[in-house]
Amino acid sequence: VFSPNGDGVNDVFKIKIMGQELYELKIWNRWGGLVFESTDPNVMWNGKTNNTGAENPEGTYYYVFKYKLRTESEKTVRGTITLLRD
């Protein structure tokens, strides 16, 4: 859960990772529309479409995160994120 309301607390969705050789995060809304993607672990989702477009509404979003750490095989994690607005 994250709440991008500008209070400086939990304003972005981020995945903390170090030592990666691959980082690919994609986030979709419930209708299957891609709202965010990044290959840079320093670029976190702020709740807007591609971080610069319209604010996405409250709800559940789906993500696929592919990563590879040094000396390990590539892994894929799938899950949900809940976006809350005040």
For 27-84, what is each residue's pLDDT tens digit? 999 999 999 999 999 999 999 999 999 999 999 999 999 999 999 999 999 999 999 9
| Helices assigned H by DSSP within the chain | none
Distance between CA atoms of 51 and 72, rounded to whole angstroms? 31
Beta strand segments in the chain, E = 20-28, 34-38, 59-69, 75-83
User: What backbone phi and psi angles, to 5 degrees, belong to 44?
Assistant: -105, 155
Query: How many alpha carbons fall within 13 Å on the CB side of residue 6?
Result: 3
In which band, very low, low, confident or very high, does the pLDDT at 2 lie, cut at 50, 70 and 90? very high
Handedness of CA 32, 53, 86, 5 (dihedral sign): positive
